[in-house]
Chains A and B, each alone.
Chain A
Amino acid sequence: SQKIEQNSEALNIQEGKTATLTCNYTNYSPAYLQWYRQDPGRGPVFLLLIRENEKEKRKERLKVTFDTTLKQSLFHITASQPADSATYLCASPNTGFQKLVFGTGTRLLVSP
């Protein structure tokens, strides 16, 4: 079955810099990947979906890429702000199209 790998170490960056988070999948190329944000004590909140045939997707300061050769998706936050501090989760459908498998998430800390 599909396995999603994200860097478990926290990423610390300075305000204004670009944060880049990595998501690797291990088996078949999924039809799409989703990215979620999770704040402490809350459920994940959907941010972006990128399909297999899309190289890049943007939403305001967020950018997601999908590289099927590297089996990897990169999630970028430009001009990062302390309010962007949270855990970011990558998700991929498993054998069932609707069955989302999540990575363990990467915690982002943006310092003023």
Chain B
Amino acid sequence: DAGVIQSPRHEVTEMGQEVTLRCKPISGHDYLFWYRQTMMRGLELLIYFNNNVPIDDSGMPEDRFSAKMPNASFSTLKIQPSEPRDSAVYFCASSFEGGEAFFGQGTRLTVV
């Protein structure tokens, strides 16, 4: 397996625009996590899914953020409208039965 695949690797967008981040988890994994990493706050869990169902979205900062997992092999994190303070590296991770988490390479988002 190629591991967790995220796209794009880098995204630069203007304030107010919609941003969509994509993730393909490892085949067979039943948990999917979206994290955000900044220097100030470290790695923060935004939301996680179990068998495509959102379990806990208490880390989602605002209504501007939304996440979906339409099937076991794909998830999206959408920010609409984006703001400069959303600039961060966004990681997707997956695991099997809650074991070790496998992280993607991340998407570096810059909102100007």
A60 to chain B, nearest CB (A): 16
Total interface residues on A, CB under 8 Å, equals 20
Residues of B contacting A97 with CB < 8 Å?
A: 98
- List the B residue with the shortest CB-CB distance to A94: B45
A87 to chain B, nearest CB (A): 10
A44 in the interface (beta carbon within 8 A)? yes
Total interface residues on B, CB under 8 Å, equals 24
- Indicate with 1 or 0, residue by residue over B57-86, a CB within 8 angstroms of chain A CB atoms: 000000000000000000000000000000
Residues of A contacting B55 with CB < 8 Å?
A: 96, 98
Residues of A contacting B50 with CB < 8 Å?
A: 98
Residues of B contacting A98 with CB < 8 Å?
A: 31, 48, 50, 55, 95, 98
Q: Which residues of B contact A (CB under 8 A)?
A: 4, 31, 33, 35, 41-43, 45, 48, 50, 55-56, 91, 93, 95, 98-106
CA distance A42 to B91 in the complex (A): 9
